[in-house]
Structure 1
Amino acid sequence: MQILERVEETDIQSARDYVTKAYETVRKRNRHESEFLQAVKEIFDSLVPVLARHPKYIEHRILERIAEPERMIVFKVPWVDDQGNVQVNRGFRVQFNSAIGPYKGGIRFHPSVNASIIKFLGFEQIFKNSLTGQPIGGGKGGADFDPKGKSDREIMSFTQSFMNELCKYMGPDTDIPAGDIGVGAREIGYMFGQYKKIRGRYDAGVLTGKGLEYGGSFTRKEATGYGLVYFVEEMMKDQGLSFKGSTVVVSGSGNVALYAMEKAAQFGAKVVACSDSDGYIYDKNGIHLDTVKRLKEFGNKRISEYVDEHPEARYFTGCLGIWSVPCDIALPCATQNEMDEKAAQVLIENGVKAIGEGANMPCSQEAARQFLDSGILFGPAKAANAGGVAVSALEMAQNSTRLRWTAEETDARLRGIMTDIYRKSVKAASEYGRAGYLTDGCNIAGFMKVADAMIAQGVV
């Protein structure tokens, strides 16, 4: 509690009053955006000791300013399906904060996408990008388009129409999108091609997550999953624990989940369960990752088909039940708020030792609080899943220099960044009286860098 003991109780109360007032301002302005408000409250609440120690952030009204996007773009995306019917979706891009660099953040294609989700993701991206140590600001984008069941031609038609509008607001020194849920190498390729055609020039650094043939980086596809495991391994190492010999449950079966499973297995863990949006599989002998990759990464199949090849495994309909599988380490890698308070309690009762958030805010606030109150190691998303954007920034650096690093060099840089994020988060938590609370530590470390840059640049 060393920082809190150095300030007067009146300073602490002033900081709490300011946080309450600032959050209420944000809530009134965004009253129907629950995901965004959830992310804002988590950040604001963790900053009380910082505000008490450094009243300059209150004087400059940093909370109100940092919670308001610099720009929010909403646009229609008309396209034609394979039956010749005109379809219309809604596209989004939030350019949230550019204090430390150009906007950087993924594009998500999913029916659930709306302004609240995009703003929540963009707000989180500010602090996540700051933690990486790379010169990148916070942004995010997407559309309420469902790529599931669409043909390649329909995907191309939609992504080209999406880029027709988005291209007006992006560039290698302005806003650099990447992939996210529903947006992989195929979608990035179509968007890059359309951007190149519209602009009439080859700006390799305008999108990341590109194919290796046209400016992509080794390890980008694996980066978020690998980075998650690197972070959790560092977190566990401090407590004398390790992935080696541990049982792991991973939700999801997209890139993050697949490569978290791969790296966990390389570290000596046994992954026994994973899922998709329909249900989950449990294989007590350990998941055969090559089968899951063939089904999900290359085949666009359902996870239920795993049991056709491995009859010793079991398939269960519904996703939430995956957290009833006993494990030492749980890695939620599917989507926001996928783990509620009840699921957290079951994990705790079954003896879980560590949680690493691979998705963006996959644990509800109540679930996260239960883990922390129970002394469970908890790796928060904006720190633990920063590997993807870290390697995206490395891809930008390679594009700028017209060079490509080897897979081994890029992976080594990734591991170094994740270790540094963990250490910065631990240090900030300790310095501000929150030792052991990595959520507060990463929020504080990410915030102070951006806030100081905002003050230096004036009221803009």
Structure 2
Amino acid sequence: MTKLQDDIENYLSHSHPHSDEYHQAVREVFDDIAEVYRKEPAYRRWNIAERMLEPDRIVRFRVCWEDDNGQVQVNRGWRVQFNNVLGAYKGGIRFDPSVNESVLKFLGFEQCFKNALTGLPMGGGKGGADFDPKGRSEREIMRFCQAYMQELHRHIGPNVDVPAGDINVGPREIGFLYGHYVKLTNRWEGVLTGKSPGFGGSCGRTEATGYGVVYFLKNMLQAHDQSLESQRVLISGAGTVALYAAEKCIREGAKVITVSDSRGTRVFRNGMSEKELVSLRTLKLEQHGSLEDADCGTWHSNKTPWFAAKGAIALPCATQNEVDGKAMKRLIGNDLLALCEGANMPLTQEAHDKLIDANLLYGPGKAANAGGVAVSGLERSQNASLQSWSMDKVDTMLSGIMEDIHNRCIEHVKRKDGIYPYSKGANLYAFKKLAEAMMAYGVK
């Protein structure tokens, strides 16, 4: 362990205890940039490491709301405004019982690097609440969103912090949040992204993260003389990211073999058809059902995609730390060609290390799933200029941004046994961009 890594460990233990997810995300970055940091005295002189690890601010608040039975409910809400040297804070809002300060710090930290890779003027942030929308009526979800915005509106603005959606926060929830923001402030402005195109949202925002993963994957394969066509693709998750990644894979001629949820995995032995995809989207996104209830493919209860089928390409699109060491060993043993992260930090540390040691194609989440925030950036541009762009224009721009991100990931690294180390390259590029801005600002 280098002195920098030792200093990082001591700082995290002292200043951010009980934050396992955050520690994992930080280690992954600083393991990659340690040598560069050591060779540049200015980084130490300006204490970039410690400044980069401490969020600008963490806002925590109580969210009180009333359910359909007239019972007052209490949840905890947060907004982590991590770093704004590259632009206004930008990052999603997540509603899920798993949300806590550690998770949001890790997501906010990752967001700083992800946004740096897009080339757009965006800082990093993240927010959410430990509210569980499952089983709640639409009216209850609306009242919760309004109560959350009642507290959040004081801390956001189009040039301050521009939240977006994330897990369990889609266009409907963004609409509720935005409507209450307008009521509270009497201002119609681009303070939230992920809105409906009917009132300031961008075409293609819903599809962007899933499509972006596949655009990055295509660039990665092409750089190594490979093609996506006819490849067997294992996808985890059945939310927006997973299903739109599946859609784009099918349209590119790949065979989507799996999708999954918390109950198990649905396997399509010869690849999912577009008709089957439509039925799954209706079930998951419109009826909020389980894949167990679908009438296509084969159901494997309590199995993840990595143990339910074989495939050359893996797209984990569910949640953090969903792929452990055992699953990675199986993937590699089944002739894995490439893995691209649709979720944020879906690999455990053990799984990450095994994949790096195997020297296979690896698209890290901060690069591969940046399509969503990229189109959020485009939505901000449309709002600022009072324009609305077509789906074709947005999709073309998204494809170009993902190609640029791919190229930035290999800008500072060389091939190792014929393979570009994308994770290291993404961390190096983003770190250097953030560090240069922080030094230019002086002591901030």
Asked whether the two chains share a fold, i.e. TM above 0.5, the reply is yes
Shift of 1:49: 2.3
Question: Distance in 1 between the 2:35 and 2:416 partners?
Answer: 6
Query: Are the counterparts in 2 of residues 274 and 322 from structure 1 also a CA contact under 8 Å?
Result: no
CA distance in 1, matches of 2:370, 2:185: 30
2:120 counterpart of 1:131:
no
Which of 163, 172, 183 is residue 186 of structure 1 equivalent to?
172
3-state SS, counterpart of residue 221 of structure 1: helix
SS of residue matched to 1:274: strand
Q: Which residue of 1 is the match for residue 356 of structure 2?
A: 372
Contact 1:320 1:339 (8 Å CA) reproduced:
no
Please provide the CA RMSD for this pair: 1.6
1:277-313: per-residue Cα shift (whole Å, max 9, x none)? Answer: 221111213222111111111111111111xx23xx2
Provide the secondary structure at the position in 2 that maps to 1:91. Answer: strand
Matched residue type, 2:145? T
Residue number in structure 2 paired with 1:388: 372
Q: Which moved more, 1:189-198 or 1:427-436?
A: 427-436
The equivalent residue for 1:140 is 126
Deviations 1:368-417 (A, max 9, x none): 22122112211100000000000000000010000111111111111111
**Superposition pairs of residues 59-208 of structure 1, within 5 angstroms:** 59-203=45-189, 205-208=190-193
Task: Pick closer, same or farther for the CA change 1:302–1:324 going to 2, 3 Å.
Answer: closer
CA contact (8 A) 1:426 1:436 kept: yes
Cα 1:432/1:98, change in 2 over 3 Å: farther
Determine helix, strand or coil for the equivalent of 2:116. Answer: helix
Q: 1:239 aligns with which of 224, 240, 244?
A: 224
| Residue 27 (structure 1) shift | 2.3
Alpha-carbon distance in 2 for matches of 1:447, 1:305: 45
d(CA) in 2 for partners of 1:182, 1:229: 22
The one-letter code matched in structure 1 to 2:292 is: S
Note if 1:413 corresponds to 2:417: no
Q: Do structure 1's residue 436 and structure 2's residue 420 form an aligned pair? A: yes
User: How far has the Cα of 1:432 moved from its partner?
Assistant: 12
TM-score (norm 1): 0.93
Amino acid at match of 2:400: G
Letter paired with 2:263:
D
Question: Helix, strand or coil for the counterpart of 1:217?
Answer: coil
- Alignment equivalent of 1:266, drawn from 247, 251, 270: 251
Q: CA deviation at 1:19?
A: 3.0
Q: Does 1:215 align with 2:200?
A: yes
The count of aligned residue pairs is: 441
1:251-277 deviation digits (Å, cap 9, x = unpaired): 001110011000011110010110112
The answer as to whether partners of 2:359 and 2:419 remain within 8 angstroms in 1 is no
Q: Aligned partners of 2:214, 2:415: CA distance in 1, in Å?
A: 26
2:415–2:421 CA contact under 8 A, matched in 1: no
**2:379 corresponds to which letter in structure 1?**
E
**How far off its partner does 1:319 sit?**
4.7
Q: How far did residue 321 of structure 1 move? A: 5.1
> How far, CA to CA, are the matches of 2:204 and 2:155 in structure 1?
28
Other-structure match for 1:8: none
Q: Contact between 1:324 and 1:346, CA under 8 Å: does it hold in 2?
A: no
Structure 1 residue runs of 5 or longer lacking an equivalent are 1-12
Amino acid paired to 2:59:
I
Give the residue type in structure 2 aligned to 1:102. A
Counterpart in the other structure of 1:446: 430
Do the aligned partners of residues 59 and 432 (structure 1) sit closer, same or farther apart at CA in structure 2, a change above 3 Å counting? farther
Q: Given the superposition, is the C-alpha separation of residues 146 and 90 from structure 1 closer, same or farther in structure 2, using an over 3 Å criterion? A: same
* Corresponding residue of 1:7: none
**Structure 1 residues 37 and 324, CA gap change in structure 2 (3 angstroms):** same
CA displacement 1:146-201 (0-9 Å, x = unmatched) = 01111000000100000000000000000000000010011000000000000012
Partners of 1:431 and 1:318 lie apart in 2 by 39
**Partner in structure 1 of residue 279 of structure 2:** 291
| Aligned match of 1:51 | 37
Structure 2: 5+ residue stretches without partners: none
Moved more, 234-243 or 164-173: 234-243
Q: Give yes or no for the alignment of 1:305 onto 2:276.
A: no
Summarize deviations over 1:430-453 as a string: whole Å, max 9, x none: 399997211111011011111111
**Contact 2:306–2:331 at 8 Å: present in 1 too?**
no
Q: Which amino acid aligns with 1:353?
A: L
The alignment's TM-score, normalised by the length of structure 2, stands at 0.97
Preserved CA contact (<8 Å) 1:276 1:319: no
> Relative to structure 1, is the Cα distance of residues 421 and 433 closer, same or farther in structure 2, using a 3 angstrom cutoff?
farther
Which one of the candidate residues 384, 405, 409 is aligned to 1:400? 384
CA contact (8 A) 2:300 2:308 kept: no
